[in-house]
Amino acid sequence: MLCLIVAEAAIFTIFVVAYIFYLGKSLVGPSPREILEVPVWDTVCLLSSSATIHWAVAALRRGALGSFRLWWAATLALGLEFIAGTAAGWHRMIYDRGFTIQTSLFGTSYYALVGLHASHVIVGLAALAFVLWFALRDQVDQRQAERCEALSYYWHFVDAVWAVVFSVVYVIGR
């Protein structure tokens, strides 16, 4: 898992650097300040999910399977809320404001970076759902704590990447 995270970190670094490099170089289209709404609620949900997955793994290590299921499901719900918010934001930008990947260089770099992150969240959500499905069937116990912790590393990585993407796109880039 750590090797995957290092490789993914390199990919995200390339996308973040490209986003920063091309920021302000679009000759057409809206600027970030004109088009982007800061996703505060979505960010709170995603970053909070790092705490819930940590509590889930800790509960599993203690053998508290009910608490594990609860915290794991909370992590999944928070991640789903983040994706729903991202989708709603994209829908507003695309259909209400006409801002697409083809609009400008900014549109291309924005959708590439944020879309790359969203795709990683979706992969993580699928893995979380898979584990929850097994947990609800009483097929997860303390013996799987290390595996769940490895998955939590991926989820923490996705959250950390969002902190960087959020800072670059919605704070520095505006």
pLDDT digits (tens, 9 = 90+) for 88-115: 999 999 999 999 999 999 999 999 999 9
For 39-172, the fitting CATH number among 1.20.120.80, 3.40.50.9100, 3.40.50.2300, 3.40.50.150 is 1.20.120.80
pLDDT digits (tens, 9 = 90+) for 112-127: 999 999 999 999 999 9
Please enumerate in sequence order all residues whose Cβ is within 8 A of that of 3, keeping only pairs 6 or more positions apart, or say none: none
Residue 88, both tokens: 């709603």
Percentage of the chain lying above the pLDDT 70 cut: 100
How far, CA to CA in Å, does 70 sit from each of 84, 98, 106, 144?
A: 21, 40, 40, 16
pTM reported for the whole predicted model: 0.93
The DSSP element (H or E) to which 34 belongs, if any, is helix 32-35
CB contact at 8 A, 98 and 70 = no
Residue 97, both tokens: 């404001």
- Residue 3: is it exposed, middle or buried by C-beta count within 10 angstroms (0-12/13-18/19+)? exposed
Tens digit of pLDDT at every position of the chain (174 positions)? 999 999 999 999 999 999 999 888 888 878 899 999 999 999 999 999 999 999 999 999 999 999 999 999 999 999 999 999 999 999 999 999 999 999 999 999 999 999 999 999 999 999 999 999 999 999 999 999 999 999 999 999 999 999 999 999 999 987
Which of 161, 71, 79 shows the shortest CA–CA distance to 124? 79
Q: Where are the domains of the chain?
A: 39-172
